């Protein structure tokens, strides 16, 4: 795809984000034959443009790593994108609904590595050995596309719907923690909306990190030690409204993350 076209699509996506208005899928209006490779080229250009605007990368995110999410979004493969510093909300912080289009929340486990691991061929065991700590998180996704509907290339170009992230402060060393059976409960206004377990994410959340490292390796990229990594929603995503109070609680003492919506 020519640079000019990429630039045009990036501006289109950014304008939807900045104006909080949904747009038609790129595959509907601009490029019906968009490939995954081209979609990542658009995502890369979009991130570069945001960096040029003064934003910085907080860390990478995996998406569509659970059956609940794949079914909810009717797509068939995990993807990655980037959380930027401008998207971060402190634990217990408040977001204004009118700064988004149709936001949803997702409960996620975050990883921070102590050593760099380079793909290809990285396994979940390599990830666990290189993990410094994990942390509880809420991701806010806000597809720029109409009715939150897209194909895989569309959502990749749209930086995997990334729009916000609350990183819990209760970091936890792995020790004897079992990330397969670790449970999570997503409550809104005190009502349970979704429940999940670690194994929902590619059978083990560390597998999501391994996949990420291996995909990035194909592009000569890696995950830096200390960078927060989101492993993908452990349940389906839930729409939020003004006035909502979101609480995500993880088992095994991993802790609670909170978000208010105004």
For Mg ion, the binding residues (CB under 5 A) are 63, 106, 139, 233
3-state per-residue secondary structure call for the chain: CCHHHHHHHHHHHHHHHHHCCCECCHHHHCCCCCCHHHHHHHHHHHHHHHHHCCCCEEEEEEECCEHHHHHHHCCCCCEEEEEEHHHEECCCEEECHHHCCCCEEEEEEEEEECCCCCCCCCCHHHHHHHEEEEEEEEEEECCCEHHHCCCHHHHHHCHHHEEEEEECCCCECCCCCCCCCCEEEEEECCEEEEEEEHHHECCCHHHHHHHHHHHHHHCCCCCCCCCEEECCCCCCCEECCCCCEEEEEECCCCEEEEEEEC
Q: In terms of CB distance, is 99 or 220 closer to ligand OOG?
A: 99
Interacting residues with ligand OOG between 151 and 170 (CB under 6 A) = 155, 160-161
Question: Closest approach of Cβ 165 to ligand OOG, in Å?
Answer: 10
63 part of the interface to ligand OOG, by CB under 6 A: yes
Binding of residue 95 to ligand OOG (CB under 6 A): no
Q: Per-residue x/- marks for ligand OOG, 164-203, CB under 6 A? A: ----------------------------------------
Q: How far is the CB of 2 from ligand OOG (least distance, A)?
A: 27
Kindly state the smallest distance separating residue 55's Cβ from Mg ion, in Å: 19
Residue from 143, 151, 159, 235 that binds ligand OOG (CB under 6 A)?
143
Nearer to ligand OOG, 116 or 241 (CB): 241
| Identified binder of ligand OOG from the candidate list 233, 238, 246, 254, rule CB under 6 A | 233
Query: Which residue ranges make up the site for ligand OOG (CB under 6 A)?
Result: 63-65, 69, 73, 106, 139, 141, 143, 155, 160-161, 232-233
């Amino acid at each position: 795809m020519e640079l000019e076209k990429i630039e045009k699509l990036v501006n289109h996506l950014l304008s939807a984000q900045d104006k909080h208005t949904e747009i038609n899928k790129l595959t509907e209006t601009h490029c019906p034959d968009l490939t995954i490779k081209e979609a990542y080229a658009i995502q890369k250009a979009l991130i570069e443009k945001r960096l040029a605007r003064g934003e910085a990368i907080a860390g990478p995110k995996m998406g569509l790593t659970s059956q609940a999410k794949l079914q909810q979004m009717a797509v068939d493969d995990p993807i990655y994108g980037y959380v930027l510093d401008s998207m971060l909300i402190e634990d217990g912080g408040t977001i204004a609904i009118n700064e988004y289009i149709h936001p949803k929340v997702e409960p996620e486990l975050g990883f921070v590595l102590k050593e760099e691991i380079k793909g290809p061929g990285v396994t979940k065991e390599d990830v666990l050995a290189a993990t410094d700590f994990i942390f509880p998180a809420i991701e806010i996704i806000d597809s720029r596309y109409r009715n939150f509907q897209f194909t895989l290339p569309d959502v990749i170009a749209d930086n995997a719907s990334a729009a916000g992230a609350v990183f819990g402060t209760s970091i936890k060393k792995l020790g004897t923690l079992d990330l397969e059976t670790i449970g999570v409960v997503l409550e809104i206004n005190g009502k349970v909306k979704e429940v999940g377990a670690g194994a929902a994410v590619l059978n083990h959340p560390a597998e999501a990190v391994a996949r990420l490292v291996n995909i990035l390796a194909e592009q000569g990229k890696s995950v830096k030690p200390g960078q927060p990594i989101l492993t993908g929603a452990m349940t389906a995503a839930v729409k939020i409204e003004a006035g909502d109070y979101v609480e995500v609680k993880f088992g095994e003492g991993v802790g609670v993350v909170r978000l208010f919506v105004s």
